[in-house]
Amino acid sequence: MNPSGTTIRRRLERVEETLSPFAARSTNALRRTDDPAEASGYRPAYAVDVDRIINSQAYTRYIDKTQVFSLIQNDHLTHRVLHVQLASRIARTVGRALGLNEDLIEAIALGHDIGHAPFGHQGEQILSALSKAAGLGPFRHNIQSVRCLDTLEKEGKGWNLTLQTLDGIFCHNGESHDVPLSPDPTKTFACLDDEMRRLGEGKRFAPSPLTLEGCVVKFADTISYIGRDIEDAIRLGVIKRGELPRECTRILGETNGTIVYSLVTDVITHSSGDEIRYSDEVAEAIKALKTFNLKRIYRSPAIKAHLGNLSDLFALVFENCLGDLRKKREGSLIMEGFVRNMTPAYLDTTPAEMVVRDFISGMTDTYFLRLCPEELRPHVIHLTPSP
């Protein structure tokens, strides 16, 4: 006779008892509402979260959301779908070495950027400015990631993910290289909601993750992009490898592979108990490398010049969608592609400006451009390495 789903799940949950005493247990997972399907199934709670995230519509749209280099044609550039997979792999490597819950790590890592607007951080900054002008407060992709999975998916019903996963997603961004990071195990859904409200109102603070797994993903996020962005910039001729700061390459190496290996090794070696950290030497090296990337890559005129009218296009799309929504224009993209499928509960409690922001933030780069007049669309360029 085959064992029941509950029997299999309990067996898997017992395996978690061999993890570190600081690891999150699936038996302690909290959801906003009880989940009968999970209670009778064989998957532990955080494995359920992973499956729900990768089967979400927003996860599918990762594939056409750029990471750093937007409107540049090159098949080998990192897109957001690859970034979250790299972050997941790195975080799981660290988590396995520290005896943590890899299912929870994977759920947080795969979902952490799901609320990003089109065109990377440039798009986030533009949408944030429009949001503030509309009286919504700043747009934060970490808040939107939680909002997407908790509220917008499944036609406005959300996926009912665990507090541990949602909190890890919310807390993933911000600096993590200069101080040790420890979890705050006292957090509740009420705490998460309050922190998101405060950050969404423009308050500045650094929330601590509920779990050690959330702390690991926060570190892995940086590890997964800092060297990869360098490789992409070299591939496009924005920088040369020999220009990397010597004080950084001496400690971390000068390729993405050596940088990732050095950082992962350092985190595993120097983290202990309920604390995730780098050594002091590596913390200083990654801080200097971030400064270099900011100056030479993220603010490089070579990758920003062709984005000149992107702000105007965001404003145009925002106003057009808002007008269509307020006048309930049948056949418009926001009505047919978003509003028509949402629950009355969402539509009755969400201001029109927020509905538009939810719609735009979920767009892929390509879909956004299709909403713009063809004569105003920025040209896709092709950068080749310098000789």
| Among the ranges given (58-62, 203-207, 252-256), the one the predictor scored with the smallest mean pLDDT | 203-207
267 and 298 together in one domain: yes
286 and 142 together in one domain: yes
Give the end of a domain, one of 282, 306, 330: 306
233 and 318 together in one domain: no
88 closest CA partner among 233, 253, 213:
213
Candidate ranges 60-74, 167-181, 299-313, 318-332; pick with highest mean pLDDT: 318-332
199 closest CA partner among 269, 147, 255, 154:
147
User: Is position 132 within any domain?
Assistant: yes
210 and 77 together in one domain: yes
User: Is position 79 within any domain?
Assistant: yes
CATH code, domain carrying 155:
1.10.3210.10
Q: Give residue 387's pLDDT band: very low, low, confident or very high (50, 70, 90).
A: very low
Instruction: Write down the pLDDT at residue 44.
Output: 92
User: Is position 387 within any domain?
Assistant: no
d(CA 58, CA 54): 9
Residue written as tokens 């700061």? 245
116 closest CA partner among 172, 165, 159:
172
Q: Mean pLDDT, to the nearest integer, of 369-382?
A: 83
DSSP 254-265: SSHHHHHHHHHH
216 and 324 together in one domain: no
The token pair at 335 is 């009505």
Residue 265 pLDDT greater than 90, yes or no: yes
The token pair at 298 is 């993220």
Provide the sign of the torsion angle of the four alpha carbons 33, 37, 42, 47, taken in this order. negative
Amino acid in the structure at residue 354: M
- Cβ proximity of 238 and 383 under 8 Å: yes
- Cβ proximity of 172 and 218 under 8 Å: yes
pLDDT in tens, 92-105: 999 999 999 999 99
| Among the ranges given (25-34, 69-78, 151-160, 222-231), the one the predictor scored with the smallest mean pLDDT | 69-78
Q: What angle do CA 82, 87, 88 make, to 5 degrees?
A: 95
Give the end of a domain, one of 306, 324, 357: 306
Residue written as tokens 């603070």? 205
160 and 219 together in one domain: yes
User: Is position 165 within any domain?
Assistant: yes
245 and 344 together in one domain: no
Q: Which conformational region is residue 227 in: left (phi greater than 0), alpha (psi within -120 to 50 degrees), or beta?
A: alpha
User: Is position 201 within any domain?
Assistant: yes
Give the end of a domain, one of 306, 327, 347: 306
Instruction: Write down the pLDDT at residue 364.
Output: 95
Q: CA dist 113 to 108, 139, 146, Å?
A: 9, 13, 9
Q: Which conformational region is residue 181 in: left (phi greater than 0), alpha (psi within -120 to 50 degrees), or beta?
A: beta
164 and 217 together in one domain: yes
- Cβ proximity of 105 and 88 under 8 Å: yes
24 and 80 together in one domain: yes
- Mean pLDDT over each residue of the chain, to the nearest integer: 92
Instruction: Write down the pLDDT at residue 309.
Output: 87
62 and 175 together in one domain: yes
CA torsion angle 204 208 214 219 (round to 10): 70
254 closest CA partner among 282, 289, 279, 208:
289
Residue 386 pLDDT greater than 50, yes or no: no
User: Is position 48 within any domain?
Assistant: yes
For residues 196-225, one letter each, b for 16 or more C-beta atoms within 10 angstroms of the residue's C-beta and e for the rest, the string is: beebbeeeeeebbbbbbbbbbbbbbbbbbb
Percentage above 90 pLDDT, the chain: 77
| Total number of domains constituting the chain | 2
112 and 81 together in one domain: yes
Neighbours of 329 (CB within 10 A): 14
Three-class SS of residue 297? helix
Integer Rg of the chain from CA: 21
- Residue-range definition of the domain harbouring residue 330: 310-376
| Among the ranges given (58-72, 186-200, 209-223, 251-265), the one the predictor scored with the smallest mean pLDDT | 58-72
User: Is position 161 within any domain?
Assistant: yes
User: Is position 386 within any domain?
Assistant: no
188 and 126 together in one domain: yes
Q: Mean pLDDT, to the nearest integer, of 148-173?
A: 96
Tell me the sheet residues that pair with 381: 72
pTM for the model: 0.94
